[in-house]
Amino acid sequence: MFEIRFHGRGGQGAVTASKILALAAFKEGRYVISFPFFGTERRGAPVTAFTRIDDDPIRLKTQIYTPDAVVVLDSYVLGSADVTGGMSEKSYFIVNTDRKPEELGRNFRTATVDAKSIALERKLGDRTNPIINTAMIGAFARSTGIVSRESAIEAVRELSPRKKDENAEAAADAYESVRLGWLN
Amino acid sequence: MPFSIPTEEFMEPGHTACHGCGATLAMRYVLKALGKNTVVSVPASCWAVIPGAMPYRTLDVPMVYTPFAATGASISGLREALDIQGKEDYNVVGFAGDGGTADIGLQSLSGAMERGHNVFYIMYDNEGYMNTGVQRSGSTPYGAETTTTPVGKERNFKRQNKKVVADIMMAQGVPYVATATIAYPEDLIRKLDNARKIHGPKFIQVLATCPTGWYYPPEKSVEVSRLAVQSGVFPLYEFQNGVLRVSKPSKTVEVREYLSMQGRFSHLNDEDIAQLQEYVNQRMTMLLEKEKDTAKPGP
Amino acid sequence: MQSAQRKYNAILTGNDAVAVGAKLARVGFISAYPITPQTTIVEKLAEMVANREIQARYVEVESEHSALAATFASELAGIRSYTATSSHGLLYMHEMLHWTAGMRLPVVMSVVNRALGPPWNIWTEQTDTMNQKDTGWMQVYCESNQEALDTILMGYRIAESEKVMLPLMSMEDAFVLSHTSEPVSIPDQEEVDGFLPPLDLKFRIDTNNPMGYGSYSTPDGPFMELKKDMIESMKNSKNTIREVTRNFAEAFGRDYSGLIEEYAMDDADYALIASGTLASTGKYVVGKMREAGRKVGLIRLRFFRPFPDEEIVKATKNLKGVGVLDRSVSYGSSGSIANEVKSSLYEKSSIPVTGFVAGLGGRDVRIEEFEKMFDYIEKGKTGNYFIGDREGN
Amino acid sequence: MVELILAPIAEKSSKFNHTDSWRILKPEIEYDKCIRCMICWKFCPDNAFEISTGSSIPSPNERTAKLEAPVINYDYCKGCGICANECPEKCIEMTVESKKVI
């Protein structure tokens, strides 16, 4: 079983990202479950969402405490201890930032992607609210290899309510441009 | 032709209403006007008891018993479910007392009227919780003694004016609103005939005199009801598509005459009666002004 | 490796699955009032009505009491009717719950289990529905989105059975099921139509046959007999439930095995009785413990009403100890499920019973806490324990 | 055979329930004064009035003799007295119920 935790802020699409990832894995014949930690938060407040992927039916319905991967949609939430909670050195740490992976330390398998620039280039959202969740799916696919590039892009296209092509392209861009810290 | 109202009956004899019950007459007239193809929904109230205990029914139309607060919602559900089955010709009627309308049922009534279901809501107003033994309701008039506003050394009669639900319904913009009493069944039946021409919610508040709770002899039920209109205590009006028409009684009497017939007002002194007379005058003035306003051609 | 895609054709949240279930059941009338976390069910249904994907009237009422009052009336007029609520909304319906059951109307309602305030808390807990156990409604606690969908279909068939004629509420845990996406198999409409015939309410409202619906009864009237009939029908519904779940398995290939589900119980020495998503996580933990050689199992309570007493006695017959997990509180007594289990076993078994209360207000019940519960059961600790609070229990 | 469930439904007409025992005073119509205005029938809350076309009922004149007449069904009359109170001709008298035996 592979467990992924998404951290973002309300309105950034962390919950949708967890669903897109589940769909991508489902398309490859795997069992999936995705769920938010649903708070009473409003737009802008920190948000957590979860995805589990397995070859067998998934019964475990707790939150994810020892993630195999953590996807950070907004580097502003990095300061919170919850973000890296339960991670091991084998865990993937995929962060939306223009910084290099090594700048975030070498505790995990860290990957960085400038999803904000990708989103703006593809005209997804605006400067204050770029839509970066679809790019993060591309970055996740490349970093972990848990889902293929094709499944990720297909799932992005399917679950994007608008600008399906642009979102799919954003995922592809991120797949190409994500920087994998452990390869350096 | 001696019959001023339809002769067909949809209420059977043998029911268990009190002697001289005004609420029973209200149901009898409403069903005469609406006929066989009618479904009545009744909440906790005198009318939940009037048909008698199981296995008896007293209406020749289906009667649904609902919890106290649920009249408006139940007629909403009935109406939609009947329409789905092509039974648009059924009349759906909520028939609730003043407690079930002005107090516990007001939210449900207001919702049903706002949603615009094609229903009738008849509030039979006996000005108190008569089924439970004469307690004060929002619709009890100023000055009335009830078992929860008893008159002792403190002269603790109801100190607040009557909450007039028909006025609230007018303010809410219900397409048809009227008041009626059992003393004028022809008027009530005519109003129901007008109301049924409107596809939408219809609200009629019928003053249903109650010898048991108002403390007057049962043979006076119709007389008291007539005096309520003649004294202006219960003005008759019809509000249809935004236009108000107020009936002027052919004969007028002082409020004192109406009050003096009923034990529930026997403790009132001249000052109290003058106050009530003043309130009745003001309300009539307000209604007549509204009548003038609504008669103006629209913009 | 199994392919999940061979078994499932969609990924849905629990609430969307429930809405799809109502659609497939061809409900003709929906009335509801929004409350978190039920809202997405009725939003979805409103959308389906707006898009004519479902031939139903949708009445947006001004309260939950009215939601069930309108549903009750519509069902009485002969239309298959549906509503959904949660938590305080369910409490506000309480009077109408009794009224609907007492009128013998086979309404099906979805309830998203949510804690009761104060303090306000939107997360999952079963106190809201446990409070309604004596209202004459059948109660099903679902553990997966698939079961949530399927239970709407089975629910109407059970409720509308002439031997039953009682309403049914189907539960989802707030968020853990209601807002969780899982693969789901959506059955074809024709298959559902074959399984669930249209409602034919024998005593539907008809002006050619005027009757008093509800009426009143004196102490010497049929009141006691009517209540007795409800008690009997609720008891007899067990056979209908078993039969309908069997028919459902034959038609759709998904077997919910009746009122309870036994997991790894064949040679188990110790077992935990749980419901809803806690049972799902419990199965995961049992699987891990089995790998470690511990002979543990899990009994998932699907139905709480009618209570599966015979099933519990049978399933626990060879155990050395059993625990009962309640995600609800009954002040001044033990957990609601624990009490019922003990009552079922009385004079039929001498097995020690351990009661647990955990996960209140949506607090996550973690793997370690399940392990702790099994440790307590194995040690034969009887009594009642509070698990997962800040005092370190 | 499926045994149908028992629902709380009232089917029997209340006309099988006689309410004559409620009566203390009994209305009696003096038909030779009755103008057949039917106001007594109109205001009866107990539906105790039947409409008769029988010609054997006494009548004040030939015109009224041709009209339907109100006839009290004493099985249902509770004796409230509204009919007597409302009668414009004052031809209904409330008398002490004679059949009452205690």
Mean pLDDT for each 10-residue chunk of chain B (299 residues)? 90 97 98 98 97 96 98 98 97 98 98 98 98 97 96 89 97 97 98 98 98 98 98 98 93 97 96 96 96 79
C-alpha distances out from residue B259 to B210, B216, B222, Å? 14, 10, 15
Token representation of residue C118: 């104060």
How far apart CA A156 and CA A55 sit, in angstroms, is 22
Contact C226 D8 (CB under 8 A): yes
Domain ranges of chain C: 8-198+213-252, 260-387
- Which residues in chain D have their CB less than 8 angstroms from residue B8's CB? none
CA distance D76 to chain C (A): 21
- Which residues in chain A have their CB less than 8 angstroms from residue C180's CB? 33-35, 61
DSSP-assigned beta bridge partners for residue A113: A96
Mean pLDDT over each residue of chain C, to the nearest integer: 96
C-alpha torsion sign, points C109, C113, C115, C121: negative
Average pLDDT, integer, range A109-138: 95
Q: What pLDDT does A77 receive?
A: 82
CA C344 to centroid of chain Cα atoms = 19
- Residue D85's contacts (CB-CB under 8 Å, 6 or more residues apart) are B219, B220, B222, B223
Contact D47 B222 (CB under 8 A): no
pLDDT reading at C283 higher than 60: yes
DSSP-assigned beta bridge partners for residue C213: B64, D9
Amino acid (1-letter code) at residue C199:
L
Inside any domain, residue A184: no
Q: What CATH class is the domain D29-96?
A: alpha beta
Token representation of residue B72: 């408006």
Backbone angles phi, psi at B274, to 5 degrees: -65, -40
CA distance C37 to chain A (A): 10
Contact D6 C225 (CB under 8 A): yes
Q: What pLDDT does B153 receive?
A: 87
Phi-psi label, residue D55: left if phi above 0, alpha if psi -120 to 50, beta otherwise: alpha
Q: Where are the beta strands (DSSP E) in C17-150?
A: 29-32, 57-60, 81-86, 108-113, 138-141
How far apart CA D87 and CA B146 sit, in angstroms, is 31
Contact A35 C11 (CB under 8 A): no
CA distance C16 to chain B (A): 24
Amino acid (1-letter code) at residue A51:
T
- Interface check A23 vs C, CB under 8 A: yes
pLDDT reading at A81 higher than 70: no
The kind and range of the H/E element at D72 are strand D69-72
C-alpha torsion sign, points B176, B178, B183, B184: negative
Chains C and B touch (3+ CB pairs under 8 A): yes
Residue A136: CA atoms inside 13 Å, Cβ hemisphere, count?
33
How would you classify the pairing of strands C260-263 and B91-97? unpaired
Q: What is the DSSP letter of C53?
A: S
Interface test with C, best of B31, B47, B54 (most C CBs within 10 A): B54
Q: Give the ipTM of the model, two decimals please.
A: 0.94
- CATH assignment, C8-198+213-252: 3.40.50.970
CA distance A56 to chain C (A): 7
**For residue B79, what is the nearest residue in chain C, using CA coordinates?**
C74
Q: What pLDDT does A46 receive?
A: 84
Residue reference for tokens 């997966």: C144
Token representation of residue A49: 């969402």
Q: What pLDDT does D4 receive?
A: 53
The pLDDT tens digits for C185-222 are 999 999 999 999 999 999 999 999 999 999 999 999 99
Does CATH number 3.40.190.10 belong to domain B22-295? no
pLDDT reading at D1 higher than 60: no
**Residue A168: which CATH number?**
3.40.920.10
How far apart CA A92 and CA A181 sit, in angstroms, is 10
Find the domain containing A135 and state its range.
2-179
Contact C215 D9 (CB under 8 A): yes
The pLDDT tens digits for A21-44 are 999 999 999 999 999 987 665 667
CA distance D54 to chain B (A): 16
Inside any domain, residue A155: yes
How far apart CA B76 and CA B78 sit, in angstroms, is 6
- Interface check C197 vs D, CB under 8 A: no
The pLDDT confidence band at residue A10, using thresholds 50, 70 and 90, is confident
Quote the number of domains for chain A: 1
C-alpha distances out from residue D83 to C3, D3, D24, D75, D78, Å? 84, 49, 15, 16, 11
- Which residues in chain C have their CB less than 8 angstroms from residue A48's CB? none
How far apart CA C263 and CA C283 sit, in angstroms, is 7
Contact of C191 with C251, CB cutoff 8 Å: yes
pLDDT reading at C19 higher than 70: yes
- Interface check C331 vs B, CB under 8 A: no
- The candidate with the shortest Cα–Cα distance to C254, out of C148, C164, C179, C161, is C148
Contact B74 C73 (CB under 8 A): yes
pLDDT reading at D62 higher than 70: yes
Contact of B224 with B176, CB cutoff 8 Å: no
Nearest to D36 among B2, B25, B55 (CB): B2
Q: What is the DSSP letter of B141?
A: P
Chains D and B touch (3+ CB pairs under 8 A): yes
Domain ranges of chain B: 22-295
Q: Quick check: helix, strand or coil at residue A127?
A: coil
C-alpha distances out from residue C144 to A60, A172, C12, C302, D72, Å? 11, 33, 11, 11, 68
How far apart CA C39 and CA C22 sit, in angstroms, is 15
Average pLDDT, integer, range D34-38: 95
Fold classification of C260-387 is: Rossmann fold (3.40.50)
pLDDT reading at A45 higher than 90: no
CA distance C203 to chain D (A): 9
Contact A33 C182 (CB under 8 A): yes
- Which residues in chain C have their CB less than 8 angstroms from residue B84's CB? 28-29, 57, 79
Residue B163: CA atoms inside 13 Å, Cβ hemisphere, count?
16
Contact of C35 with C84, CB cutoff 8 Å: no
The pLDDT confidence band at residue C391, using thresholds 50, 70 and 90, is confident
Average pLDDT, integer, range C268-289: 98
The pLDDT confidence band at residue C1, using thresholds 50, 70 and 90, is very low
Percent of chain C at pLDDT exceeding 90: 97
Percent of chain A at pLDDT exceeding 90: 82
Contact of C354 with C383, CB cutoff 8 Å: yes
Residue reference for tokens 């076309």: D53
The pLDDT confidence band at residue D2, using thresholds 50, 70 and 90, is very low
